[in-house]
Amino acid sequence: MESNNAAQCLGEATEPTNIVILGAGGDLTKRKLIPALLKMLRCGLLHADSKIIGVLKGRTQEQWLTGLHKGMQEYSPEIKLNDQQWQQFSSMFSMIEGDLQEERTYTDLAAAITSIQQHKNALFYCAVPPRWYTTIAAGLDKAGLSDQSEGFRRVVIEKPFGMDIDSARQLNNELQSLLDESQIYRIDHYLGKESVQNLLVYRFANSILEPLWNRNFIDHVQISAAESIGIEYRANYYEKSGALRDMIQSHLMQVMTLVAMEPPVEFTADAVRDEKIKVLRAVRPIKPESVSQQTVAAQYGSGTNAEEAIKAYVAEDDVSAESVTETLAGVRFHIDNWRWQGVPFILWTGKRLPQRVSEIVIRFRKPPFNLFDTHANPPTANSLVFRVHPDEGISLRMNAKMPGLTTDTQRMVMRAPYAENGEDVSDAYEVLLHDVLTGDATLFSRADEVEQSWSIIEPILNEWQHRISVNRYRAGTWEIPGMEDLFADCVGGWHKPS
């Protein structure tokens, strides 16, 4: 197939697999999953004998495929795909029409998989809202589809994995009663970003960082995800979630574990995840009376960005005019262990900010005695910045002498882009789908990590649920009430993306 005429990607070859997408008529499928599968096929990372089986209701196969084709053209225009190539690709597809609540849907699916003679591996991707996960797992179990005697059977679920500690535990218990934990892949697309994985390579494939990577040299760490977009079509979810649940509990806390963890004994899923959970266990519990000092919550009001008028969050469709849901959240964590005692980890995220930027900033301590402090331009704090998005790469901010007859200093930034050509960077869904197909769960959250991270933020959720008002910020600005205070004692203060 197409894999013959395209460059081969680096990566372990995958076995032929039935890729079953449950909820295949939805947004995630056309926006992310199908483009990722096509790119994988083109470069040989998806076995050409694989099948893609969509489970959806109320549409014919022709209608479904037409929708997918349009979605590819709309959301992935960079993938050049002529009609003949689409026909060829879509010949891998088949469809089961059915409701996820009905037993018949799963027996039809089992019959379809049984009819495929070449292989019996199956990946079940739950591209549906989380309330369906247990129903799907039960349907698969009853139809014998989770039985691994003839091939692997893996189930992928998307966050949110619960909305608090109790619902997360309940979901884990229900899934684990139907599937083995090793069959459950809790996807966090943020960890699929190459630059996040690159953090592990920078840390553990180089020897110059490790001596500095501790409380003796690092003043604090900032992990951020600033977005310029609003909530788009997700008001119903976002109103219940807010920025803390949506981004900090999942993506940003996962990144914190990668920054803070000890070197694993080997690069295997459980060895890495064992070290990550140790970090979460060492996070100091936030006392109810400390929540207001250790956190920031704010909501965007109206404003402008790049001359576009932006309406306030409370004026968005399906948002209550009285909503106090935070669209920006910041939390200051402390990790009580030998390496990180006294080093704040400040995680923050927000919507309708001036730019879409995601970074990990390692801010170093001041020199013990600064010879140049009296000069007109005092030296600035050293920072090592891992840019997750955009312009993935790493930069080191240092001080250098200004040219001329002076010892005044100026900031010097050494930049190392991760990939010169952005096209070399794989999309997170390609990386993670490949990992599921090869059975590598390193970048997927284990049940204990999910529960631990919910229990860490539980005191914040408890305090915030009683609030009757929330601070506002003007959309399109960095003027966020309380943010500077969160960094008040940090060398160099808040690193606003630029």
389 belongs to the catalytic site: no
CB of 30 to ligand NAP, least distance (A): 8
Of the candidates 79, 88, 9, 13, the one whose C-alpha atom is nearest the C-alpha of residue 47 is 13
8 Å CB contact between 223 and 318 = no
CA distances from 265 to 204, 255, 271 (A): 11, 19, 6
Axis-axis angle for helices 34-42, 61-75 (nearest 10) = 80
Q: Pick the closer one to ligand NAP by CB: 27 or 318.
A: 27
Q: Pick the closer one to ligand NAP by CB: 32 or 193.
A: 32
CB of 198 to ligand NAP, least distance (A): 22
**Contact stretch for ligand NAP (CB under 6 A) within 56-64, 211-219, 352-360, 412-420:** 56-64
Determine if 130 is a binding residue for ligand NAP (CB under 6 A).
yes
According to CB under 6 A, which one of 40, 41, 52, 56 is a site residue for ligand NAP?
A: 56
Please pick, among 189, 251, 434, 495, the residue that the annotation labels catalytic. 251
Determine if 71 is a binding residue for ligand NAP (CB under 6 A).
no
- Token representation of residue 201: 């390579």
**For ligand NAP, how many residues bind (rule: CB under 6 A)?**
18
Question: How far apart, in whole angstroms, are the C-alpha atoms of residue 396 and residue 327?
Answer: 30
According to CB under 6 A, which one of 101, 170, 177, 410 is a site residue for ligand NAP?
A: 101
Determine if 23 is a binding residue for ligand NAP (CB under 6 A).
yes
CB of 180 to ligand NAP, least distance (A): 22
Q: Pick the closer one to ligand NAP by CB: 56 or 436.
A: 56
Determine if 163 is a binding residue for ligand NAP (CB under 6 A).
no
Determine if 57 is a binding residue for ligand NAP (CB under 6 A).
yes
Q: Pick the closer one to ligand NAP by CB: 32 or 387.
A: 32
CB of 323 to ligand NAP, least distance (A): 20
CB of 234 to ligand NAP, least distance (A): 8
Which residue number has the CB closest to ligand NAP?
26
Determine if 128 is a binding residue for ligand NAP (CB under 6 A).
yes
Determine if 67 is a binding residue for ligand NAP (CB under 6 A).
no
Determine if 288 is a binding residue for ligand NAP (CB under 6 A).
no
Determine if 127 is a binding residue for ligand NAP (CB under 6 A).
yes
CB of 123 to ligand NAP, least distance (A): 15
According to CB under 6 A, which one of 17, 81, 158, 251 is a site residue for ligand NAP?
A: 158
Determine if 28 is a binding residue for ligand NAP (CB under 6 A).
yes
Determine if 74 is a binding residue for ligand NAP (CB under 6 A).
no
CB of 59 to ligand NAP, least distance (A): 8
Determine if 63 is a binding residue for ligand NAP (CB under 6 A).
no
According to CB under 6 A, which one of 32, 397, 434, 495 is a site residue for ligand NAP?
A: 32
Q: Pick the closer one to ligand NAP by CB: 138 or 385.
A: 138
Q: Pick the closer one to ligand NAP by CB: 91 or 101.
A: 101
**Contact stretch for ligand NAP (CB under 6 A) within 94-102, 262-270, 276-284, 325-333:** 94-102
Determine if 26 is a binding residue for ligand NAP (CB under 6 A).
yes
- Written in H, E and C, the secondary structure of the chain is CHHHHCCCCCCCCCCCCEEEEECCCCHHHHHHHHHHHHHHHHCCCCCCCCEEEEEECCCCHHHHHHHHHHHHHHHCCCCCCCHHHHHHHHCCEEEEECCCCCHHHHHHHHHHHHHCCCCCCEEEEECCCHHHHHHHHHHHHHCCCCCCCCCCEEEEEECCCCCCHHHHHHHHHHHHHHCCHHHEEEECHHHHCHHHHHHHHHHHCCCCCHHHCCCCCEEEEEEEEECCCCCCCCHHHHHHHHHHHHHHHHHHHHHHHHHHCCCCCCCCHHHHHHHHHHHHHHECCCCHHHHHHHEEEEEEEEEEECCEEECCHHHCCCCCCCCCCCCEEEEEEEECCCCCCCCEEEEEEECCCCCCEEEEEEEECCCCCCCCCCCCCCCCCCEEEEEEECCCEEEEEEEEECCCCCCCEEEEEEEEECCCCHHHCCCHHHHHHHHHHHCCCCCCECHHHHHHHHHHHHHHHHHHCCCCCCEEEEECCCCCCCHHHHCCCCCCCCCCCC
**Contact stretch for ligand NAP (CB under 6 A) within 46-54, 78-86, 128-136, 308-316:** 128-136
| Own/partner pairs, 212-216, CB within 8 angstroms, 24+ separation | 212/364, 213/339, 214/339, 214/340, 215/339, 215/340, 215/341, 215/342, 215/343
Determine if 31 is a binding residue for ligand NAP (CB under 6 A).
yes
Determine if 100 is a binding residue for ligand NAP (CB under 6 A).
yes
CB of 208 to ligand NAP, least distance (A): 36
Q: Which residues are marked as active site?
A: 251
Report the interface residues with ligand NAP, using CB under 6 A: 23, 25-28, 31-32, 56-58, 99-101, 127-130, 158
